[in-house]
Amino acid sequence: MSAYMITYFISDTGGHHDHDENCGCGGDHSASHEHEHEHEHVHGDANIIGKIKSLGAWAQFLPEGFFVKTSSSAEEIFAEVSSVANKGDIIFVTKIDAKSSACANPAVLDWLAE
């Protein structure tokens, strides 16, 4: 089993907000550079946390950061977590180990080394 760090950012996709040619919403901005529309917030923080916790042994080290021990690859973890995320959410997964990590809490490094 390997240890991975998963961090995420939940985007604010609810309500009205302005868009322009750089907003990434996929809308046609040729006629106007401002328009309003709503995005439906399908899933939230709880679904991402639940999905992360379902992947294997886990430790939450930041409000939006987890370590997970699993036999899955980073790509597989990313796909699983992305399956419950909104379009604008940001997810990052990387493989870690105790030898190449540093932490003020030695118990974290001990857990990673197990």
Contact between 74 and 93 (Cβ < 8 Å): yes
With a threshold of 0.75, does the pTM exceed it? no
Greater model confidence, 9 or 26:
9
| Residue-wise DSSP of 59-112 | EEEETTEEEEEESS-HHHHHHHHHTTS-TT-EEEEEEE-STT---S-HHHHHHH
Provide the CATH number for the domain around residue 80. Answer: 3.30.70.240
Q: Which is more confident, 13 or 6?
A: 6
The better pLDDT of the pair 38, 8 is held by 8
* Residue span of the structural domain in which 54 resides: 2-12+42-113
Which tens digits make up the pLDDT trace of 61-100? 899 999 999 999 999 999 999 999 988 899 999 999 999 9
Q: Residue 58 domain-assigned?
A: yes
Counting the structural domains of the chain, the total is 1
Using one digit for the tens of pLDDT, what is the confidence trace for 17-69?
444 555 555 555 555 545 444 444 445 678 899 999 999 999 998 999 999 99
